[in-house]
Amino acid sequence: MNLTVIDHPLARHSLTVLRDATTDPQDFRNAAKRLTYALVMEATNRIPLRKLEIETPLEMTAGYALGDVVAVAVLRAGLGLLDAVLELIPDVKVGFAGVQRDEATALPQEYYAKMPPMEGASVLVLEPMLATGGSLSWACGKVKDSGAEDITALCVVTAPDGVTRMYEDHPDVRIVAAAHDRELNDKFYIVPGLGDMGDRLFGTL
């Protein structure tokens, strides 16, 4: 399956802060941002570069510039990853995919979608919790409808059900995550997980 789980001490530390039930919203947001730096570095290691000539204070030399990059934040939780993406990739274009989970069925319900042009761009879909896979699969379908072909999903925690769903629906989408957890519980939450990412980011528990 097209899943990469990053293994770095700084990522493990930030993930531990996110998992801890006693972490307050401000510290949770800070840890999410720090963890996203590691996710973005891994997710962008295949992005095409343009070669160009630049002048240092001493002489001319070769330089490199990123091609077009689009980030799509799956609302609400994807907003917790967006600031780090904007800092690392200043010219990134941003789209938003509004989807909420029906708590009874765990099926995604669309309420908003706004995408920039994506033809020829490397697209990062920001969906922290890959549980059943419904929301991420829906978002990837949306970005493909907008012309995206090179898609990488950034997740904080994944579950086997969600990874399997993505492999079935979008085998071409690469998934970069900080952890691959054990299972879903009877309410479709990832365990051990970290709870509801959106609620913990914004203090709406």
Q: Would you call 27 helix, strand, or coil by DSSP?
A: helix
Task: Please identify which of the residues 4, 19, 169, 196 carries the catalytic annotation.
Answer: 196
Each of the 205 residues of the chain gets a pLDDT tens digit; together they read 699 999 999 999 999 999 999 999 999 999 999 999 999 999 999 899 999 999 999 999 999 999 999 999 999 899 999 999 999 998 999 999 987 766 666 666 788 889 999 999 999 999 999 999 999 999 999 999 999 999 999 999 999 999 999 999 999 999 999 999 999 999 899 999 999 999 999 988 7
**Which pLDDT value is given to residue 101?**
67
169 tagged catalytic: no
Whether this model's pTM surpasses 0.85: yes
**Which pLDDT value is given to residue 111?**
83
Q: Is the dihedral of CA 191, 193, 199, 204 positive or negative?
A: positive
- What is the chain's percent helix, strand, coil content, to nearest 5? 35, 35, 35
Task: Please identify which of the residues 20, 46, 105, 182 carries the catalytic annotation.
Answer: 105
56 tagged catalytic: no
- Which residues is 158 bridged to in the sheet? 130, 180
199 tagged catalytic: yes
**Which pLDDT value is given to residue 107?**
67
Distance, in Å, from the CA atom of 138 to the CA atom of 130, rounded to the nearest integer, reads 12
76 tagged catalytic: no
Task: Please identify which of the residues 4, 101, 169, 174 carries the catalytic annotation.
Answer: 101
Q: Report all structural domains of the chain as residue ranges with CATH numbers, in order of start.
A: 3-202 (3.40.50.2020)
